A and B are shown apart, each in its own frame.
Chain A
Amino acid sequence: RKEVEQDPGPFNVPEGATVAFNCTYSNSASQSFFWYRQDCRKEPKLLMSVYSSGNEDGRFTAQLNRASQYISLLIRDSKLSDSATYLCVVTAYGGSQGNLIFGKGTKLSVKP
């Protein structure tokens, strides 16, 4: 089983749609969780951290289910500018400096 698994997509949605991405991770000892977005041929940029109680940042809502080792990201009212690849990221267990393990990403394409 891969350490971090995501549906690669692509998710093609119209503007204004609500879209949800899921992610599962294999290591139950992982401590921290993040969603990054990566635009084509660019570096990843932090979108939001994911907290146990769930958290929201504007149109974005992240959820964590430790028992199921599952993370989700919900985007409401999609904008054209949301088109990107969304990376699910967890801290690596045992890494001396808390290395991050990246999923392959889920590609989102928002159409007019």
Chain B
Amino acid sequence: GAVVSQHPSRVICKSGTSVKIECRSLDFQATTMFWYRQFPKQSLMLMATSNEGSKATYEQGVEKDKFLINHASLTLSTLTVTSAHPEDSSFYICSARTGGSYNSPLHFGNGTRLTVT
């Protein structure tokens, strides 16, 4: 069964509005969660690493003021896309590890398909 839950699975919003995406670890605590983005026919690209109780680490080229990440508890991380624009339309996926080793595989949420009109 799923170990990482993501909500909503699909959202359509108007340009200029903000959208919040939730990522929950089920039955395990995740001090770290990862947020990826995937454009059509492209590979998953890491946007940021969400750390419980501290600031997120953003990848180069990802605007931290536009993509707000909050990891307030050991089971929940949220990504807020602020002032969304059509170019932000993409598939956003969160992930976490159930294993303690950083070499263990990631488990993904079911993803959020964002369409900005």
Task: List chain A positions with a Cβ less than 8 A from chain B.
Answer: 4, 31-32, 34, 41-46, 49, 87, 91, 95-100, 102-105
Q: What's the nearest-Cβ distance from chain A to residue B18, in Å?
A: 23
Chain B residues contacting A45 (CB-CB under 8 Å) are 108
Return the contact of A97 from the options B41, B45, B49 (Cβ within 8 A): B49
User: B86: CB under 8 A from chain A?
Assistant: no
In the bound complex, CA of A43 to CA of B52 (Å):
23
How many chain B residues touch A (Cβ–Cβ < 8 Å)?
26
In the bound complex, CA of A99 to CA of B57 (Å):
12
In the bound complex, CA of A109 to CA of B9 (Å):
26
Chain A residues contacting B97 (CB-CB under 8 Å) are 98
Complex: chain B residue closest to A88, CB-CB: B43
In the bound complex, CA of A99 to CA of B50 (Å):
12
Task: List chain B positions with a Cβ less than 8 A from chain A.
Answer: 6, 32, 34, 41-46, 49, 57, 91, 93, 97, 101-111, 113
In the bound complex, CA of A96 to CA of B6 (Å):
24
Query: Quick check: A46 and B105 within 8 Å, CB to CB?
Result: yes
Given known A96-B49, A97-B32, contact A43–B109 (CB-CB < 8 A): yes
Query: Quick check: B46 and A42 within 8 Å, CB to CB?
Result: no
Report the 8 A-B pairs with minimum CB-CB distance, sorted nearest first: A98-B102, A32-B103, A43-B108, A102-B44, A104-B43, A43-B111, A102-B43, A46-B105
Q: What's the nearest-Cβ distance from chain B to residue A108, in Å?
A: 15
In the bound complex, CA of A25 to CA of B63 (Å):
28
In the bound complex, CA of A45 to CA of B107 (Å):
7
Complex: chain A residue closest to B32, CB-CB: A97
